[in-house]
Amino acid sequence: MKKFKKILGYGFLAIVVVVIGFVLYLKFALPNIPVPENVTVEITPERVARGKYLANSVMLCMDCHSQRDWNTFSGPPKPGTQGEGGEVFNQEMGFPGKYYAKNITPAALSDWSDGELLRAITSGVNKDGKALFPVMPYPNYSKLDKEDIYSVIAYLRTIDPLENKVPESESDFPMSLIIHTIPMKPGFTSRPDKSDIVAYGKYMTTAASCTDCHTPMDKGQYIMDKQFAGGMEFPLRTGGKVYSANITPDKKTGIGNWTAESFVARFKIYADSSYTPQNIHSGDFNSEMPWLMYSTMDEYDLKAIFAYLQTVKPVSAKVTKFVPE
List pLDDT tens digits, range 249-269: 999 999 999 999 999 999 999
Across 200-229, average pLDDT: 95
Q: What's the pLDDT score for residue 35?
A: 86
What pLDDT is attached to residue 219?
A: 81
Q: What pLDDT score was predicted for residue 31?
A: 61
Q: What is the mean pLDDT of residues 122-142?
A: 96
Per cent of the chain over pLDDT 90 is 84
Encode the chain in three state secondary structure.
CHHHHHHHHHHHHHHHHHHHHHHHHHHHHCCCCCCCCCCCCCCCHHHHHHHHHHHHHHCCHHHHCCCECCCECCCCECCCCCCCCCCEECHHHCCCEEEECCCCCHHHHCCCCHHHHHHHHHHCECCCCCECCCCCCHHHHCCCCHHHHHHHHHHHCCCCCCCCCCCCCEECCCHHHHHHHCCCCCCCCCCCCCCCHHHHHHHHHHHCCHHHHHCCEECCEECHHHCCCCCCEEECCCCCEEECCCCCCCCCCCCCCCCHHHHHHHHHHHHCCCCCCCECCCCCCCCCCCHHHHCCCCHHHHHHHHHHHCCCCCCCCCCCCEECC
Q: How far from each other are the two terminal CA atoms of the chain, in whole angstroms?
A: 61
What pLDDT score does 26 carry? 44
Instruction: Say if residue 293's pLDDT is above 60.
Output: yes
Structure confidence by residue, pLDDT tens digits, 44-89:
999 999 999 999 999 999 999 999 999 999 999 999 999 999 999 9
Spatial CB neighbours of 189, under 8 Å, sequence gap ≥ 6:
143, 144, 145, 203
Say what percent of the chain tops pLDDT 70.
90
C-beta separation of 307 from 201 below 8 A: yes
Determine contact, residues 59/273, Cβ cutoff 8 Å.
Answer: no
Q: How confident is the model at residue 17 (pLDDT cuts 50, 70, 90)?
A: very low
- Residue burial 105-122, b: 16+ Cβ < 10 Å; e: rest: bbbbbeebbbbbbbbbbb
> pLDDT tens, 179-196?
999 999 999 999 999 999
Of residues 260 and 14, more confidently modeled = 260
Q: What span, in angstroms and rounded, lies between the C-alpha atoms of 185 and 277?
A: 41
Average pLDDT, the chain: 91
Mean per-residue pLDDT, 129-149:
96
* Residue 43 main-chain phi, psi, to 5 deg: -90, 105
Q: Mean pLDDT, to the nearest integer, of 117-123?
A: 98
pLDDT higher than threshold 60 for residue 16:
no
pLDDT greater than 80 at residue 172 = yes
